[in-house]
Every structure is written in structure tokens, then in C-alpha cells.
Amino acid sequence: MGLSSAIAWMNLSPILNPKFRAPGRGRNRILFLATAFATIHPTLSPHHPCHRHYHSHYSPVRCLFPTPMANFSSAVSPRRRLRGVVFDMDGTLTVPVIDFAAMYKSVLGHDEHDRIRAQNPSGIDILHIIQNWAPDKQRRAYEVIADFERQGLDRLRIMPGAAELCAFLDSKKIRTGLITRNIKEAVDLFHQRFGRTFYPALSREFGSYKPNPAPLLHICSSWDVLPNEVIMVGDSLRDDVGCGKQAGAFTCLLDETGRYNPADYANLDLEPDFKVSSLDEVRHLLDAEFDLAP
């Protein structure tokens, strides 16, 4: 649908009339026009220049206004209810310190690692790979993985912005949970260092692990909320976004370094609802996009 057709379809054609004068003055007039044009944003072609900005900025009208407008999204459409936030731990609430590439090579061997990596450009799911190994081989693999994870405990640091984000959620009485593929020992130390407890906090010992949606669905059930009233926040497209999408929750990809680009979203099942570069952005995003109602 072309732009003019979309405007006509939305009954917005009067704003194109040269004699039309938007109500209000100054900023209010700008907001009126922005609201009108933002309403047709979903009808734009994926190749439209506005569409390129949708996932790199949380504001759906970033292409019209380079500077975000406070509470603008609420003027465009009703805000969705959000009752809980579930976080990944490593690389999301904590600064990434585990050398996963070295871990995988230690478990698989260099040649096997390179072969599997070439077949899985989105990343290696080491826990899934070793799941069907012989018991002795599997036990040794888990020992190697746990050793890398324990080394990471000595260097565990809280991610900048995590305390402020959680304080904001606490002030809104929004539930906070945690899902990690790490061990319970790491979760316990994280809670101790952070000075607060996430509940439920599901570690690898839960049995099912991301991207399997079972942990997230378990948390939703324990909270007595619907999956579409929850958002999954994490730094892994495959594990965190995959888990959230399969559960039916909103998803937010934390990409601090810009390692994910639009080509990574070729599999639409893994396309995040939001993409941010810091936890500070998550706080502003939740406040702007959702009705935070416990």
C-alpha cells in the first residue's frame, strides 16, 4: 500500500489538504501531525526508509523525529499491560566474563567445534549437543563447563544500569524473575552480590533450559500471569529471544556491542520486539511502551 493510499485508508487525507490547519500550537501541533503519520507506520513496506529504524530504536516514529518524545507511544496506540520482567543473567544483569568459545573448544575439541560452528552461524548450543552423549563423556563435559562457570564467579560484576532498572520495576511493583543456563551456585552468588533476589530464579538445574520456553512458562504460571503480560530481556538472540518468542512473551534483545544486525533477523521467529544497547534504555522503553500494572 502506498503512502497516500494508506492515509486515505486511515481517513487521514484531510491533513494533506493545503488549507488544513492542525489543531493546537507549537509542540502540540507537531504531536498531532506525528500521531497521524505514526498511525500508518505499520502499513509501510519493509523497504521504506522508516522501516529500517524500527528495531534499532524503540520509538516507532524515530524516522520522523530524531529525538524521542516522552509518552509519545501512548498517543499512537493503547499501551500494552506488563506485569512481569524476566531477565537472563550472564551478559544481561552481569558483565560477560565467561569465554564461551574457549569453553566449547575444550568440550568439543577444535575440529569438531569449527565444524559445528560452521553449520550453526547463530551459535553453538553446547547443552543440547552433549545431551545425548554417553554418560561418562557427558559427565566430563559438564565438569569442564562447570569449571569455566566457576572461574567466572570470581570475576562476577553487576551490569551498569541493572540496579536502577530493578529499583524502577520495584517502584512500579512489577515482578522480576531470572532464567539462566548457568549453575545454581552462580545464581546464589549473583543474588548475594546484587543485594536482591529474583523470584523465581531458574538455573540449569531446573532441567529445561533456554531456548526451550518451559522455564519462562513456569515463571508465568507461578506468577499467575499470561505470557503476553511478560517481557523476556537478554543478550542472546537464539536463547533469550527464542525462549520468549516460543512462550508468547514480548522480547527485548540487549546488544551492547552492535554484534547483531538486520541479517541476523532473517529467521523471523527470532526477531525481537525491541532492541536496545543498555539497561538504561530498557527502563525508558518499558516506561514508554507499556502500562506497568502489577
**In this structure, are residues 13 and 7 in contact, taking their beta carbons and an 8 Å threshold?**
yes
Q: Which helix (H) or strand (E) holds 33?
A: helix 27-39
Question: CA 16 to CA 251: how far, in whole Å?
Answer: 36
How would you list the strands of the sheet with 250-254, edge to edge? 201-202, 175-179, 84-87, 230-234, 250-254, 274-276
Active site residue 88: yes
Write out the DSSP string of 245-263. Answer: HHHT-EEEEE-SS----GG
Q: Which amino acid is at 137?
A: K
**In this structure, are residues 179 and 88 in contact, taking their beta carbons and an 8 Å threshold?**
yes
Dihedral angle sign, alpha carbons of residues 56, 58, 60, 65 = negative
Question: CA 124 to CA 60: how far, in whole Å?
Answer: 33
**In this structure, are residues 171 and 286 in contact, taking their beta carbons and an 8 Å threshold?**
no
Catalytic-role residue among 88, 239, 240, 273: 88
Catalytic-role residue among 90, 125, 235, 239: 90
Active site residue 90: yes
Enumerate the active-site residues: 88, 90
